Amino acid sequence: MDRFLFMIDRLSTAVGKAFAWCIVTLTLAISYEVFVRYVLGHPTQWAYDISYIMYGALFIMAGAYTLSRNGHVRADTFYRLLPARVQAASDLILYVLFFLPGILALIYSGSLYAGRSWSYREVSIFSPAGVPIYPLKTLIPLAGFFLLLQGVAEVIRCVLCLRSGDWPQRLHDVEEMETVILHEREYLAERGAETGTTGADR
């Protein structure tokens, strides 16, 4: 079962990291626009389009990756104090009642939305460049598909936690510096307890 969960996590990670390159494209495009606009006096016609297309693609396609890392925002003031089984039961109910139906609706509606866009090769109405946006709209059901896969993995994790009382392992990835520092302090505290020293002694 862990192999199956890690396979979905790796897929979500691959998709998230692939679309992370949108940040580089967005940065280069906006930097170029600033240069030609304020230095050369010749602004581009496509800067606005590229900015919302790249940001939109990054935002929607990073959802499954963020879910795989348990990184979505939650009001966890009380949640983190609950026993693991209570957390799992709460998550499972929310996934079944809200998340999965919502994602299925997103896939269905997004497919219709993207299909209409492809039928007349929709272009942006916000700039004279007429940038095609039907590929961007195709990402809506695609993102829903990856979120659905990751949601299934999270439901399985909830079930496993209800059985064992502990959350299953997740793939390790980049962590915030604050998290790294906290882990180091916990490690030093454990070592200090074993040797009878403190962090100040070091």
Each residue of 61-111: pLDDT tens digit? 999 999 998 877 777 778 888 898 999 999 999 999 999 999 999 999 999
Contact 197, 187 (CB under 8 A): no
pLDDT of 193 over the 70 cut: no
**Gap between the Cα atoms of 66 and 70, Å rounded:** 6
Residue 104 pLDDT: 97
| % of the chain at pLDDT higher than 70 | 90
C-alpha–C-alpha distance, residues 113 and 138, integer Å: 8
* pLDDT more than 90, % of the chain: 52
Name the β-bridge partners of 132.
123
Q: What is the distance between the terminal CA atoms of the chain, rounded to a whole angstrom?
A: 43
Q: 139: pLDDT confidence band, cut at 50, 70 and 90?
A: very high
Give the residue with greater pLDDT, 193 vs 107: 107
**pLDDT in the model for residue 195:** 67
Measured N-to-C along each axis, helices 47-61 and 2-19 cross at an angle, to the nearest 10 degrees, of 170
| C-alpha to C-alpha distance for 36 and 190, rounded to whole angstroms | 57
pLDDT higher at 79 or 161: 161
pLDDT at 197: 57
Question: What average pLDDT does the chain have?
Answer: 86
pLDDT(50) > 60: yes
- The structural domains of the chain, with segments of one domain joined by +, span 2-171, 176-202
Residue 114's Cα: distance from chain center in Å?
21
Q: Is 175 a residue whose pLDDT tops 70? A: no
Check residue 42 and give left, alpha or beta (phi > 0: left; psi -120 to 50: alpha): beta
- Is 200's pLDDT higher than 80? no
- Distance between CA atoms of 49 and 43, rounded to whole angstroms? 13
Provide the whole-model pTM: 0.79
- pLDDT bin (cut points 50, 70, 90) of residue 176 is low
Confidence at residue 3, expressed as pLDDT on a 0 to 100 scale:
84
Query: 11 near 146, Cβ under 8 Å?
Result: yes
Q: Is residue 146's pLDDT more than 80?
A: yes
How buried is 190 (Cβ within 10 angstroms: 0-12 exposed, 13-18 middle, 19+ buried)? exposed
Question: Would you state the pLDDT for residue 183?
Answer: 66
Whole-number pLDDT of residue 171? 75
| pLDDT of 198 higher than 60 | no
CA-CA distance, 189 to 200, in Å (whole number)? 11
